Amino acid sequence: MTGTPETTCTTCPYCGVGCGVLAMQEPDGSVSVKGDPDHPANFGRLCSKGSALAETLSLDDRLLVPQVDGKQASWDQALDLVAERFRASIAEHGPDSVAFYVSGQILTEDYYVANKLMKGFIGSANIDTNSRLCMASSVAGHRRAFGSDTVPGTYEDLEQADLIVLVGSNLAWCHPVLFQRIEAAKRARPQMRLVVIDPRRTATCEQADLHLKLKPDTDVALFNGLLAFLNECSAIDERYVGLHTSGFEEALEKAGACDIKTIAAATGLAPQDVALFYSMVARTPKTITVYSQGVNQSVVGTDKVNAILNTHLATGRIGKPGAGPFSVTGQPNAMGGREVGGLANMLAAHMELGNADHRQLVQTFWQSPAMAEKPGLKAVEMFRAVRDGRIKAIWIMGTNPVDSLPDADGVAEALRICPFVVVSEVSTAVDTLAYADVALPAAAWGEKDGMVTNSERRMSRQKSFLPLPGETRPDWWALAEVAKRMGHASGFDYAGPSEIFAEFAQLSATGNNGTRDFDIGAYSLVSEAAYNRMLPFQWPRASALDEGDSRFFADGGFFTPDGRARFIAVTSRAAPRLERRYPFVLNTGRIRDQWHTMTRTAKTSRLMSHIGEPYAELHPDDAEALGIQPADLVQVESPYGKVIVRALVSDRAQPGNVFVPMHWTDQFAAKGRVDAVVAPEVDPISGQPGSKFTPVALKKA
């Protein structure tokens, strides 16, 4: 068959870089993909995962029809039951007896409807998301310092910087296209310097001019020392600090003296490396600090974020070309979820759940019968509440918590005893489905339409180019249908995602008057055709005709009551002492070619051939002491559970540490499900789990 392929401009569903993808469908139905040369995130580049997207579109392992108690049901039967059970629980036990646990995989419109239903119509804030595992410490740190969850920089800054400091980020594997942009910029300007701060020597370190292999969770000591050093060598921007910030002296006092030897001892680094790093930062105005899960996934994650932000505020290196702090998100729509209030402590359009004026404004806009008045339960606490019976009905959407949350066996037990569990899902390879009373078949990438926001605040469309298979439906539709069946017809009568987006955009501008960061333009008058033609843009922008603003805070304008950024005085805490029984630190994370719990990426042999099974990366000295040879099976055990995986003996790990990738579930590797081992300890401010620091025991299996 010959003919011209039909090309759809869409966005990759895998990571927070948010690359533009051209999906080309041939007349025979086959699909191929390539990078969109016009998309400002990637300019035509794709990584291994993005370029394999077309290989993952088969309907193998797809959930295609609704199920009730494991048996095929009609949508009406399934939706009626969900509405009835949620309504009954709310009537008997109150609105906080129900919960939604959603995902950075769902689209902004899905997220918006879920938030509206839970916060404005059910009247609880028990809606949280797997973005809690990814970004919550960064959100909390931004809000403490800037008064809002605003990422100041853009991807261009990575190319314009003279010094890039990557903290807790294996960018080469986890945000590959951003790393490719840095590599290209470094080739064009060899004087550009790259410092990597990471307890492991990762693939990213191959391009580094300096690798600081610090002890886990000692980042606050390192950045507090940097703040003191910048002060001692007169690198403080006194004008910026005086005009646009508060709390500098307190933060400086808490940071303590810049005693390189003491900092080196605390962080496990060589004194000369600490001194070199500090002097590189001090003499380089165009410094950008990029950080990711190694910072966020920590019980001191929010303090780490603020220690980094303090150094940028002190030097006025923020919101300027090539200079600023830059948090990169893990998931494709972690940012979009935050925009519509997808965390248990936020409201839509970056408004605050704790602010009575904001609650009133949103309730009036929604004309809703209720409004949550207190923050809901964050991810880890939410499943604790399921387990102890406070939550009696939960709807899980687009995520697999029995494999991906810490203490995964505890989560599975919680769902086993929960009176009513709904799971909206694409894949039957998701273990959480085994606990569902009602399973709802969701539309997948390529079949659904909506918006996502990437790490630089750029909103892009995901577009459908395939028909909905079987009886699958978009998540916003299932939510709206349940809302109507719960008696809320007027708030949820949407014809499609363009109407939902227009409503959200209108809310972003309502009562705004320039006092909030978040305004994406009044799309309420925009037609569906215009929504479909919408090009990627960065928020904020005052109208659909604006280009959008690219950077924040170069001239202050913070979203605090006095307009000043707040230095946060943070103290370096000693890492917890390891018990004799659990003497190693377990660190978990991603690998280059896998995504989440592998339900999509395991469909292609190309991606599976990169690393075929889970492994424990440990130092040769530790391996020798334990009698472990390369490729032996090793057991990694904590008080919560254990895994048995292949030993990868390498000095990339530091002694006393072990790294296990997060992706494998028992479906893909028996006993390889590492989140069963991870402790459910969280940062007390952000609620984000410390997934990179679990004390464990290691032995040959």
Binding site for ligand SF4 (CB under 6 A): 12, 14-15, 17-19, 42, 46-47, 49-50, 175-177
For ligand SF4, the closer of residues 15 and 99 by Cβ is 15
Q: Which residues are CB-contacts of 229 (< 8 A; sequence separation ≥ 6)?
A: 258, 278, 282
Cα gap 23→330, rounded to integer Å:
23
For ligand SF4, the closer of residues 79 and 451 by Cβ is 451
Q: Which residue in this structure is represented by tokens 């051939």?
A: 609
Among 303, 379, 488, which Cα is nearest to 127's?
379
Q: Which residues of 139-169 are buried (b: 16+ CB within 10 A; e: fewer)?
A: bbbbbbbbbbbbbbbbbbbbbbbbbbbbbbb
Smallest gap from residue 294 Cβ to ligand SF4 (A): 18
For ligand SF4, the closer of residues 298 and 601 by Cβ is 601
> How many Cβ atoms from other residues are within 10 Å of residue 421's Cβ?
22
Tokens of 572: 């370096």
For ligand SF4, the closer of residues 356 and 535 by Cβ is 535
Cα gap 385→391, rounded to integer Å:
6
* 8 A C-beta contact, residue 485 and residue 76: no
Among 46, 146, 40, 176, which Cα is nearest to 550's?
40
Among 89, 62, 88, 133, which Cα is nearest to 681's?
133
The C-alpha R_g of the chain, in whole angstroms, comes to: 24
For ligand SF4, the closer of residues 133 and 349 by Cβ is 133
For ligand SF4, the closer of residues 19 and 362 by Cβ is 19
Smallest gap from residue 342 Cβ to ligand SF4 (A): 19
Sheet holding 324-327, edge to edge: 210-212, 193-197, 163-167, 287-291, 324-327
Smallest gap from residue 50 Cβ to ligand SF4 (A): 2
Cα gap 373→359, rounded to integer Å:
8
Tokens of 344: 């248990």
Tokens of 236: 């403080």
Smallest gap from residue 454 Cβ to ligand SF4 (A): 8
Smallest gap from residue 228 Cβ to ligand SF4 (A): 36
* 8 A C-beta contact, residue 663 and residue 622: no
Smallest gap from residue 326 Cβ to ligand SF4 (A): 15
For ligand SF4, the closer of residues 47 and 351 by Cβ is 47
For ligand SF4, the closer of residues 156 and 162 by Cβ is 156
For ligand SF4, the closer of residues 36 and 403 by Cβ is 36
Cα gap 226→215, rounded to integer Å:
16
Smallest gap from residue 82 Cβ to ligand SF4 (A): 33
Smallest gap from residue 335 Cβ to ligand SF4 (A): 13
Cα gap 230→191, rounded to integer Å:
22
* Cα angle 180, 166, 660; round to 5: 90
Among 96, 61, 122, which Cα is nearest to 479's?
122
Instruction: Output the CA torsion 137→140→146→150 (10° steps).
Output: 70
Instruction: Output the CA torsion 362→365→369→375 (10° steps).
Output: -10
Which runs of E-coded beta strand occur in 567-632?
Answer: 584-589, 615-618
Smallest gap from residue 4 Cβ to ligand SF4 (A): 25
DSSP label of 15: S
For ligand SF4, the closer of residues 15 and 645 by Cβ is 15
Closest chain position to ligand SF4 (CB): 50
Smallest gap from residue 455 Cβ to ligand SF4 (A): 10
For ligand SF4, the closer of residues 177 and 569 by Cβ is 177
For ligand SF4, the closer of residues 42 and 245 by Cβ is 42
Tokens of 635: 């057991």
Smallest gap from residue 200 Cβ to ligand SF4 (A): 20
Smallest gap from residue 211 Cβ to ligand SF4 (A): 22
Burial bucket for residue 75 (CB in 10 Å: 0-12, 13-18, 19+): middle
Smallest gap from residue 12 Cβ to ligand SF4 (A): 3
Cα gap 537→547, rounded to integer Å:
7
For ligand SF4, the closer of residues 304 and 596 by Cβ is 596
Cα gap 341→336, rounded to integer Å:
9
Query: Which of helix, strand or coil describes residue 230?
Result: helix
For ligand SF4, the closer of residues 310 and 455 by Cβ is 455
For ligand SF4, the closer of residues 45 and 646 by Cβ is 45
Smallest gap from residue 174 Cβ to ligand SF4 (A): 8
Smallest gap from residue 292 Cβ to ligand SF4 (A): 13
DSSP H or E segment with residue 395: strand 393-397
